[in-house]
Structure 1
Amino acid sequence: MKVGLMGFGKTGKAVASVLLQSKETNLQWVLRKSHNLEHRSVPEFLGIDSEEPGYIYSADEFSGAELLERYPVDVIIDFSSEHGVRYYGEAARDRKVAVVSAISSYSEQSVAYLKHLAQKTRVLWSPNITIGINFLIIAAKILKNIAPYTDIEVVEEHFKAKPEVSGTAKKIASSLGLEEEAIKTVRAGGIIGVHEILFGFPFQTVRLKHESITREAFGNGVLFAAKHLHERGAGLYSMEDLMLPYFNAGSAQAA
């Protein structure tokens, strides 16, 4: 599966390293705003032994259509910014290139644009694309359905300099019918990301907790998304859409 990567910050670099070490993907290029590192090889820059091209280009060098014409891919992985999708969106839609977006937050207009792209190709958007956090959300929704009378608290912890409430915490709260103001935040040191959902029963407590140890966790989620999105038709998907069939697997086998 040929892959292009949008964004090469700390998370983008971690995701690129996972893609380069995977046998299921072939990293064709990385696109970034800056001209720094332009035409450098990602494997060489990261010190990874790989024959994949993985060259770095700047957004000023090509239009989205020119980039995909010269260096075609099967899927675009987006860790850039909310506006990054406008660069490649129409070209991906025309060529039916799948899109996996891990942007933490989109405006209503950008979500509408994703839906526009999804009319012709496969689009997945997940504010937090780690497998663990999406498993946690599904499990929490199931538990709330089982015991709707429980008290629920959402706590998120991140590095000290992070100013806003995490997009993942907002998604967790929304999925459980909680207001954003109910989210408890902790800012300390260099915490990459911890999310916890506490269910307070009358006589017991259940804690569902996920911690990102390194940013490579996002790369594992990207691999899962890209592989399973490949099997779907055009449409706008979430990680939950791709993971839910696994929750039914046990019941099917037992039957």
Structure 2
Amino acid sequence: MVKLIMHGCNGKMGRVITDIVKNDEHTELVAGVDSYTGVPNEYPVFESIEKCDVKADAIIDFSNAAAVDGLLDYCVEKQVPVVLCTTGLSEEQLKKVEETAKKVAVLKSANMSLGINMLLKLLQNATKVLAPAGFDIEIVEKHHNQKVDAPSGTAIALADSINETLDHEYKYVYDRSQVREKRTKKEIGMSAVRGGSIVGEHEVIFAGADEVIEFKHTAYSKAIFGKGAVEAAKFLADRQAGLYDMSDVIQL
């Protein structure tokens, strides 16, 4: 049984993960941390990580950037691995994550979905075959109308995964409307759609002469990110110090 602390337990993802763990026979939430304590929980909740005195095998973090520094210090002091899911970290904080990983296990990933991370690996295999054969590569991502950044971090992660396998790095093209010219061979086009309540959809297109191959991932709820975080925590619980990501969790 892997004992977990949920950092940010009363936020949206914290509630999702609480329900996931409740139905997972291999994990148990032994404590939570949240500045808002007005939500009833079956486990003790502390207002800050510094006040938490419950032993655990790993911490899952879905909080906010302001709380990350204290969390990293706690993980080093208590030697507790952490699945770091909070986004929007500063350059200084990202450096601190790297320093922390030298002393305790830290897992950080651009997207916690198991499906997306499996897709990252599949794309590398496809690229090795299709890019040398002259296939053009395009990425189309769709999200809800409240999302402010474009393209999504996941779309960029997909492009990065593709680029890792190429002999010569392809350039990223985000908006072709600015220049009237045909696409070059060595580029990855990215298009963003924003509308309604779309949770997340990513499509990678390999377009060749007379044939098209498409890889597509659709997220129907945020629960997929919570499920991935729980699986990551299981993986991380007995790991030595180091910086890990979801590709380490998924072994193909």
The two structures have a TM-score, normalised by structure 1, of 0.81
Structure 1 vs Structure 2 CA RMSD: 1.9
2:39 is equivalent to residue 74 of structure 1? no
- In the alignment, what sits opposite 2:114? 131
Please give the secondary structure, in 2, of the residue aligned with 1:227: helix
Aligned partner of 1:32 in structure 2 is 34
Percentage of pairs with the same residue: 29
1:55 is matched with which residue? 44
Asked if 1:95 is matched to 2:96, the reply is no
Matches of 2:210 and 2:104, distance apart in 1: 49
| Aligned residue number for residue 92 of structure 2 | 109
Could you tell me how far apart the structure 2 residues matched to 1:200 and 1:130 are?
Answer: 26
Say if 2:179 is the partner of 1:179: no
Q: Which amino acid aligns with 1:97?
A: V
C-alpha deviation, 1:103, in angstroms: 2.6
Change (3 A) 1:35 1:229: closer
Please list every run of 5 or more consecutive structure 1 residues that lacks an aligned counterpart in the other structure.
42-52, 248-255
Structure 1 pair 230–34 and aligned structure 2 pair: CA distance change class (3 A): closer
Match of 1:175, SS state, is helix
Of residues 216-225 and 101-110 in structure 1, the stretch that sits farther from structure 2 once superposed is 101-110
- 1:219 is matched with which residue? 226
Distance 2:155 2:67 in 1: 23
Alpha-carbon deviation of 1:32? 2.2
Q: Which runs of 5+ in 2 are unaligned?
A: 164-170, 175-188
In structure 2, what is the equivalent of residue 163 of structure 1? 148
Please say if residues 13 and 222 of structure 2, whose CA atoms lie closer than 8 Å, have aligned partners that are also in contact: yes
Aligned pairs for 1:203-218 (under 5 A) are 203-218=210-225
Tell me by how many angstroms 1:231 deviates. Answer: 4.2
More relative contact order, 1 or 2 (CA 8 Å, 6+ apart): 2
CA positional deviation for 1:90: 1.2
Q: Secondary structure at the match of 1:196?
A: strand
The runs of at least 4 aligned residues of structure 1 exceeding 6 Å deviation read none
Kindly tell me: are residues 173 and 218 of structure 1, through their superposed partners in 2, closer, same or farther at Cα, counting changes over 3 Å?
same
User: Cα offset for 1:94?
Assistant: 2.1
Distance 1:218 1:229, change over 3 A: same
Answer yes or no: is the 8 Å Cα contact 1:194–1:212 preserved in 2.
Answer: yes
Q: Distance in 2 between matches of 1:152 and 1:105?
A: 28
Is the CA contact 1:30–1:55 (under 8 Å) kept in the aligned structure 2? yes
Q: SS of 1:110's equivalent?
A: helix
Identify if the C-alpha distance between structure 1 residues 35 and 15 changes in structure 2 by more than 3 Å, giving closer, same or farther. closer
> Do the aligned residues in 2 keep the contact of 1:174 with 1:180 (CA within 8 Å)?
no
The amino acid of 1:32's aligned partner reads D
Q: 1:6·1:84 contact (CA, 8 Å) conserved in 2?
A: no
Distance change (3 Å), C-alpha of 1:116 and 1:205: same
Answer with 4-13 or 158-167: which moved more: 4-13
Q: How many residues align?
A: 226
Match of 2:139 among 123, 147, 154: 154
Query: Do the aligned residues in 2 keep the contact of 1:5 with 1:29 (CA within 8 Å)?
Result: yes
What is the rounded CA distance, in whole Å, between the counterparts of 1:96 and 1:21 in structure 2?
A: 27
- Normalising to structure 2: TM-score of the pair? 0.82
In structure 2, give the amino acid aligned to 1:151. D
Asked if the contact 1:104/1:128 (under 8 Å) is kept, the reply is: no
Q: Provide the secondary structure at the position in 2 that maps to 1:183.
A: strand
C-alpha distance after superposition, 1:140-165 (max 9, x if no partner): 12211222232111111111111112
